[in-house]
Structure 1
Amino acid sequence: MSPPPPLTAAQARRLPDYPFQGRWFGHGAWHQHYLDEGRGTPVLMVHGSPTWSYMWRHLVLALRDRHRCIAPDHRGMGLSDRARDPDGALLAETRAQDLGRLVDHLVTDRGAPARGWTLIVHDWGGPIGLWWSHLHPGAVTRLVVLNSTAFPAPPGYRLPRAAQALRHPALGRIAHTANTVPHLTLRQAPRRPLPQAVRDAYLAPYRHRRDRSALVRFAQDIPLGPADPGWHHARRLGRSLITFTQLPVFIGWGMRDPLHDDLVLAEWTRRLPRASLHLHPRAGHFVLEDAARQLIEDIRDFLAVTDRGT
Structure 2
Amino acid sequence: MVTAEAGRAPALTPSARSVTLERLLPGYPAPRYWRRVPATGQHYLDLGAGDPVLFLHGNPSWSYAWRKLLHGLSPHARCLAPDLPGFGLSRHLRPACGVPDPYQAQLDHLDGLYRHLVEDGQAPQQGWTLVLHDWGGPLGIAWALRHPGIVARLVICNTMAFPWPAAYRLPFYLRWIRDHSILAGVVHLTNAFARTAVHAGVHHPLRAAERRAYLRPHARRADRRAITDAVRAIPRDTSDPVWRLLEPSSPGTGLSSLPMLIGWGMRDPVFTPVLLEEWIRRYPHAVIRRFPDAGHFVMEDASGELAGHIRDFLQGPP
TM-score (norm: length of structure 1): 0.91
Moved more, 245-254 or 9-18: 9-18
2:37 aligned with 1:25: yes
Unaligned runs of 5+ in 2: 11-19
Which residue is equivalent to 1:304? 315
2:177 aligned with 1:183: no
Contact 1:189 1:285 in 2 (8 A): yes
Unaligned runs of 5+ in 1: none
Alignment of 1:136-215 (within 5 A): 136-167=147-178, 168-215=180-227
1:243 partner SS: coil
One-letter amino acid of the counterpart of residue 175, structure 1: V
One-letter amino acid of the counterpart of residue 205, structure 1: P
2:70 aligned with 1:60: yes
Residues 218, 186 of structure 1: CA spacing in aligned structure 2 closer, same or farther, 3 A cutoff?
Answer: same
Deviation at 1:7, TM superposition (A): 5.8
Give me the whole-angstrom Cα distance separating, in 2, the residues matched to 1:122 and 1:247: 18
2:42 aligned with 1:43: no
Contact 2:58 2:133 in 1 (8 A): yes
2:71 partner SS: helix
Contact 1:154 1:264 in 2 (8 A): yes
**Percent of paired sites with the same residue:** 42
Contact 1:122 1:146 in 2 (8 A): yes
Give me the whole-angstrom Cα distance separating, in 1, the residues matched to 2:266 and 2:236: 21
Which residue is equivalent to 1:232? 241
String of CA shifts for 1:41-99, please: whole Å, max 9, x gaps: 00000011110001111111111112111110011110011231355532122111101
Residues 202, 141 of structure 1: CA spacing in aligned structure 2 closer, same or farther, 3 A cutoff?
Answer: same
Deviation at 1:226, TM superposition (A): 4.2
Moved more, 280-289 or 84-93: 84-93
Name which of 2, 11, 16 aligns with 2:26: 16
2:254 aligned with 1:222: no
Contact 2:142 2:245 in 1 (8 A): no
Contact 2:263 2:290 in 1 (8 A): yes
Give me the whole-angstrom Cα distance separating, in 2, the residues matched to 1:288 and 1:86: 35
One-letter amino acid of the counterpart of residue 8, structure 2: A
Contact 1:40 1:66 in 2 (8 A): yes
Deviation at 1:26, TM superposition (A): 2.7
Deviation at 1:274, TM superposition (A): 0.3
Give me the whole-angstrom Cα distance separating, in 2, the residues matched to 1:226 and 1:83: 27
Q: RMSD of the TM alignment (CA)? A: 1.9
Contact 2:76 2:311 in 1 (8 A): no
Residues 74, 269 of structure 1: CA spacing in aligned structure 2 closer, same or farther, 3 A cutoff?
Answer: same
Residues 242, 282 of structure 1: CA spacing in aligned structure 2 closer, same or farther, 3 A cutoff?
Answer: farther
Contact 1:7 1:204 in 2 (8 A): no
String of CA shifts for 1:152-175, please: whole Å, max 9, x gaps: 111132111221121110000000
Which residue is equivalent to 2:294? 283
Deviation at 1:238, TM superposition (A): 5.0
Residues 239, 151 of structure 1: CA spacing in aligned structure 2 closer, same or farther, 3 A cutoff?
Answer: farther
Deviation at 1:250, TM superposition (A): 0.2
